[in-house]
Amino acid sequence: MSLYIVGIGPGSMEGMTLEARDALKRCSIIAGYTVYTDLVKAYYPEKEYYSTPMRREEERCRYVLERADGGLDVALVCSGDAGIYGMAGLVFQLREEMKETKEIEIQVIPGVTAASSGAALLGAPLTNDFAVISLSDLLTPLETIQNRLRCAAMGDMAICLYNPSSRKRADYLKMACDIILEYQSPEIICGYVKNIGRVGEEKKILTLKELREEQVDMFTTVYIGCGMTREISGRMVTPRGYRLHRNEKQMVAAGEEGVRKYGGIWIFGGTTEGRLLYRHCLEKKIPASVFVATSYGRQILEQERALEQESVVIRAGRLTKEKMRDAMERERPVLVLDATHPHALEVSENIRSVCRILNIPCQRVVRDLTEEDKHQEASGKSPCFDTVQEAVTFLQEKTGNILVTTGSRELHRYTSLTDYRERLYVRVLPDAETIRTCTDMGIRGRHLLAMQGPFSEEMNRAVIKEYDIRWLVTKQSGDPGGFPEKQKAAKELDVGLIVIRKGKRESGIGIEEAKEILEEWK
């Protein structure tokens, strides 16, 4: 007399192990949850069947123990693996209580659980450490489930969710996503599979923020990636680190040049802080790649050519989020310093997001307010605004010509001004892309001043006089950005100075702390 607790995988003959098939052949009775017994009836129609609905698990376990005790070979079938959210544990508990069943030989027959069979359909989302969590609170308190979700998300593990939703728990998947979003990026790659190995099988790969809005059911298995998970050729993949390990070996073998080629420190600059960090890397021979958006940015850095080191390279060109991620994943920098402009919000968010997804250390380098900045804020002599749009709204009510010296990125906002083609003059960098941006907006001829700084107080006065400027718009850029020269020229000629603040004070590290971190990572 034997009792086989059989994991039948998804339920198809192809999804069962040979051991499971043999066990079902040997038994005379097959018991289980109604859905699971119906799945195997087509393959073993000659057997006697006993089934119970949901919430009557103990009844069916007692039944198989009693029938096996009566001298029959019995199988209790479970989907997936009988020991993973299956009946194996309950059978052993009940056997301990039912003294007369002590002589029954119980064999647990492993099966292919939904976590692995669904993962195979999606690609390879569970290649590294992962957690399996059921969202059903029928037997587990909801608070416990929520704590487990938080722990898995904090540990940056891929997560496989069983029982993600039901009629009574329609919002539980959304709840789980909200918890994970406290620790992970909304762009984390996720996936789900419905009816694994059965009629109506369906799979989908999507982001965490998209998953939050999906409607799924009890027959769906959900996969939430970790920081390393990505979509490769339409598949969900969590790399285990083989390629990274190889690169680390090459870095050691190749020395400083290897660090430069395969990783090193990345600095996103194009600002005064970026230039200072670049110079520091040159002086201290710290392997680093410094990224700037334009060829002009490269020229500024190349003025330090006397200190050029092979271990420090300049890389010019704008990176989309996708290109940034591809490059980081390929080269695996050991540290990223974001020293971009305070108003480059989208770029900063892309850097943070990609580093979070790939689990790469990232620090934001923030600007320290100079005494001059603090005086400017306190004096109130010139209108100060947090955004360009606020400045444009202010200028909408004013008359006279306007000179904008804040770059081309947000020039489009000034096109809402009445008669902007006649009133607006812009001073921008003399590169082809910037000039094309201006001309596309209708800013041409005398209104387009493509010039390369630095600009003296005398030159600022000359421009203001030449174009009869009434309002001068500048960033709160301090000495390196030529702010004092603009301020003095505007004051002397009684021109309104409009200042775009550096933005709300960000959290991050200052330039000196950034230098210390660079030396620690050397």
| Secondary structure (DSSP) of 494-511 | T-EEEEE---SPPPSB-H
d(CA 32, CA 20): 14
For residue 116, report the phi and psi dihedrals to the nearest 5 degrees: -80, -40
Residue 175 in 3-state DSSP? helix
Which residue, among 74, 79, 46, 73, has the nearest Cα to 60 in the 3D structure?
A: 74
Tokens 């970026």 locate to 274
Which residue, among 40, 86, 96, 32, has the nearest Cα to 64 in the 3D structure?
A: 32
Please count the other Cβ atoms lying within 10 Å of the Cβ belonging to residue 153: 21
Tokens 């609170």 locate to 137
Q: What residues contact residue 96 under an 8 Å CB cut-off, 6+ apart?
A: none
Dihedral of CA atoms 38, 39, 43, 46 in degrees, nearest 10, equals -20
d(CA 368, CA 439): 35
d(CA 432, CA 85): 63
- Containing 225, the helix (H) or strand (E) segment is none
Considering Cα of 425, then 426, then 430, then 435, what sign does the dihedral take? Answer: negative
Contact 75, 2 (CB under 8 A): no
Which residue, among 303, 300, 268, 265, has the nearest Cα to 284 in the 3D structure?
A: 265
Question: Token pair of 24, please?
Answer: 């079902």
pLDDT given at position 8: 95
Spell out the per-residue pLDDT of the chain, length 522, in tens: 789 999 999 888 888 999 999 999 999 999 999 999 999 998 999 999 999 988 899 999 999 999 998 889 999 999 999 999 999 999 999 988 887 666 788 999 999 999 999 999 999 999 989 999 999 998 899 999 999 999 998 888 999 999 999 988 999 999 999 999 888 888 889 999 999 988 899 999 999 999 999 999 999 999 999 877 888 889 999 887 544 433 433 333 333 444 344 458 999 988 888 888 998 988 888 888 899 887 777 777 877 655 555 678 888 888 888 889 988 888 888 889 999 887 778 898 899 989 888 888 889 998 665 544 444 444 445 688 878 888 999 999 899 999 999 888 889 999 999 889 999 999 998 888 889 889 999 999 999 999 887 789 999 999 999 999 999 999 876 555 688 899 899 999 999 999 887 655 556 888 888 898 888 766
Which residue, among 203, 164, 205, has the nearest Cα to 188 in the 3D structure?
A: 205
The DSSP output letter for 372 is H
Q: What residues contact residue 200 under an 8 Å CB cut-off, 6+ apart?
A: 194
DSSP per-residue string spanning 66-114: HHHHTT--EEEEESB-TTSSSSHHHHHHHHHH-GGGTT-EEEEE----H
Which residue, among 461, 474, 470, has the nearest Cα to 384 in the 3D structure?
A: 474
For the chain, first and last CA: distance in Å? 69
Half-sphere exposure of 189 (CA within 13 A, CB side): 22
d(CA 247, CA 408): 39
Residue 360 in 3-state DSSP? coil
Contact 5, 88 (CB under 8 A): yes
Q: Can you say how many angstroms the Cα of residue 369 is from the centroid of all Cα atoms in its chain? A: 31
Give, to the nearest 10 degrees, the angle between helix 345-358 and helix 321-331: 40
pTM of model > 0.85: no
- Could you tell me the strand order of the sheet in which 105-109 lies? 48-52, 29-33, 74-78, 2-7, 105-109
Alpha helix ranges (H) inside 359-428: 371-379, 388-396, 420-423
Amino acid in position 424:
L
d(CA 258, CA 240): 22
CA angle 214, 215, 218 (to 5 degrees): 130
Residues, the chain: 522
Question: Token pair of 296, please?
Answer: 């002009």
DSSP per-residue string spanning 186-236: TT-EEEEEESTTSTT-EEEEEEHHHHTT----TTEEEEE--TT-EEETTEE
Peptide bond into 333 cis (omega under 30): no
